[in-house]
Amino acid sequence: MSSPVEISRTNPTCLLFLIDQSHSMTGTFGGAPGKQRAEGVAEALNRLLQNLVLKCAKADGVRDYFHVGVIGYGIKIGSVFKGKLAGKPLAPISEIANNPIRVEQRKKTVDDGAGGLIEQTVRFPVWVEPKANGKTPMCESLGRAKETVETFLTLYPDCYPPMVLNLTDGRPSDGNPLAAAQDLCGLASSTGNVVLFNAHMSSKPVAPIQFPSDEDKLPDNYAKLLFRISSMLPPHLRDAARAEGLAVDDGSRGFVFNGDLVAIIRFLEIGTRVSSPVR
């Protein structure tokens, strides 16, 4: 970015998530017993969307600092939103706040203020449901992301650069995604190019590699390809990663290999932080 850009209701930014919904997402993180990857990704995204709503909530309501979309790709490609949001590739955050699929009651352990822990019942809005069926048409999903972001940029040409986060556990079934990723990242507002981050989830029981700067440390050609199509971490995100205890440098990219659920949550939280003030 050439200079800091203020995010406002009249000049919002775009957050777009691409989630692999192929059959292999029925597998578990690291091959260990536990949540299916499809379930873990859905839960992580629901928590993130709730946090974005809270971040934008002010005394006068939820302010539309962000337009957010979630595109699933598997047996079908398209927005995962339902109800009043159905078919919308992007929606203002206030519309998302008002239109979850449902609100669940969940238990949460919290500090009781006296050195102990108590269980509380909390509301948990659900916008994204787990789904795992079909192949992995990643190239087509990146093309859909390009169309979505391109439309947004015609409306907000001076916005904070849009961010696209892709979460996948398999090889693309429709070819090499390099050209589609380059087309997507070639889009730009007046303040900078679109940022593309990728998170890979695997069934292999090996430690995650988070925000690497050298593809030689990655174990296979597919991981190296996802690394190459991932944008460099902007300076403020490098600072955010360091604050989380991660070792990053000037060449680090927005890529996580073999991410477990904890790494995926961290990836989403760091990847969606913005350096710009909002008003």
Strand, coil or helix: what is 268?
Answer: helix
- The lowest-confidence range among 151-155, 168-172, 250-254 is 168-172
* Number of CB atoms found within 10 A of residue 190's CB: 13
Handedness of CA 248, 223, 43, 47 (dihedral sign): positive
CATH of domain 13-271: 3.40.50.410
**pLDDT tens digits, one per residue of 50-99:** 999 999 999 999 999 999 999 999 999 999 999 999 999 999 999 999 99
pTM (two decimals): 0.92
**30 — pLDDT class (breaks 50, 70, 90):** low
Per-residue confidence (pLDDT) for residue 219, from 0 to 100 = 84
**Number of other residues whose CB lies within 10 A of the CB of residue 123:** 10
| Domain range summary for the chain, segments of one domain joined by + | 13-271
Summary mean pLDDT of the chain: 91
Quick one: pLDDT at residue 6? 85
Q: How confident is the model at residue 2 (pLDDT cuts 50, 70, 90)?
A: very low
Cβ atoms of residues 68 and 52 within 8 Å: yes
- Give 38-62 as a DSSP string: HHHHHHHHHHHHHHHHHHHEETTEE
Does the pLDDT at position 31 exceed 70? no
Mean pLDDT within 190-214: 89
